Amino acid sequence: MSVVEQFARAHIVTDENDRAEPEAAPVRLRYDPDADPRAVRIALPDRPEWTFSRSLLEQGLRAPAGSGDVRVWPCGRVQTVVEFHSAQGVSVVQFDTKTLIRFLRRTYRAAPMPLSNY
């Protein structure tokens, strides 16, 4: 199976930000079905890479999802927020929903979701 990697621009808000409107930053979305067919990864600039459930990302496009270190929810009609909690603080990343949908479609072409998750 092949690795899916997609680069995107997203707005990142952290506990350290003091600006009202953060600039868009480069973010890497990655899916490696050989490493873990149920997980996706998001790499933020100057921060550790986050790994979490592909189904959590999909669920969060429609309604708030997650209750641990990663939470995902729709923000209006065209944005999706992914929130990461760590000992160093909280990072809130706002994506264009189309970007995440395109990424998920590519992951499902690389490795369809097992029927047990439906």
Determine the Cα–Cα distance for residues 28 and 42; give it in Å rounded to an integer.
Answer: 6
Amino acid 17: pLDDT: 53
| Structural contact between residues 62 and 73, judged by C-beta atoms closer than 8 angstroms | no
In the predicted structure, residue 54 carries a pLDDT above the cut 80: yes
**Residue 89 CB coordination number (10 Å):** 10
pTM of structure: 0.86
pLDDT tens digits for 7-22?
A: 999 998 876 655 556 6
In the predicted structure, residue 79 carries a pLDDT above the cut 60: yes
